[in-house]
Every structure is written in structure tokens, then in C-alpha cells.
Amino acid sequence: MDGMENVCACCHHKNTPRDTKEQKKLQNRINRIIGQLNGIKNMIDDNRYCGDILIQIGAAESALQSLGYVVLEEHMQTCVVEEIGKGNTEIMAEAVELIKKLK
């Protein structure tokens, strides 16, 4: 093992940082999702119709799924390509597991 097995996944950092434009796009998406979730919370607090809440939950799930695919695409184009270039073909197994998690 490379000594990274005891480091939690949240502690890893990209070798090549996202550029400012990409980071801003991701932050904008996250902020919209947070807004949707706050809207759902307010709907529940306001005792709104269940069907309307479920529609908003579906929209928030879809937005989060879409964000996941954007990050996955970036991961494949940067982190995975970089690791394969270094000869680390085990990164493909990790990529497959990450794809499964986005189901």
C-alpha cells in the first residue's frame, strides 16, 4: 500500500487544482441546491401539500445528481488521466466504484 489507506477520502486533494472558473461554476450549482433544500424546508414548515414537496425533492435530487456527474466527468478527465499517466491503473477500479455510488 502507498500509506494513504489510513487517510479518509475527505482529506484527499486534487493534484491539479480546479481553475477559478470551474470552482465558481460548482459553487453556483451547490448554492442553487442549498436554495432548493431551504425551499423544501420552508414548504414543510408552511405545511404545504405533499405532492408539491415531493416535486421539489425530485428537482433537488436531480440537481444533486447532475452535480455529481459534473464532478465525475472532471475526475475522469483530470485525476484519473493523471494517475494512469503515472502508471497507476488501479485508479480505474476506484473510478468504477465512484460511478456505482452515483446511481
Least confident segment among 2-11, 22-31, 35-44, 91-100: 2-11
Is 10 inside any structural domain? no
Cell of 57: 425533492
**CATH number, domain at 25?**
1.20.58.1000
- For all residues of the chain together, what is the average pLDDT? 89
Is 13 inside any structural domain? no
* Higher-pLDDT residue of 13, 37: 37
Is 76 inside any structural domain? yes
Whole-number Å distance between alpha carbons of 52 and 41: 12
- The model carries a pTM of 0.79
Indicate the residue type of 9.
A
**50-75 and 20-45 helices cross at what angle (nearest 10)?**
160
* pLDDT tens readout for residues 42-77: 999 999 999 999 999 999 999 999 999 999 999 999
Number of domains forming the structure of the chain: 1
Is 88 inside any structural domain? yes
Report how far apart, in Å, the C-alpha atoms of 72 and of each of 2, 56, 81, 96, 99 are: 23, 24, 12, 11, 8
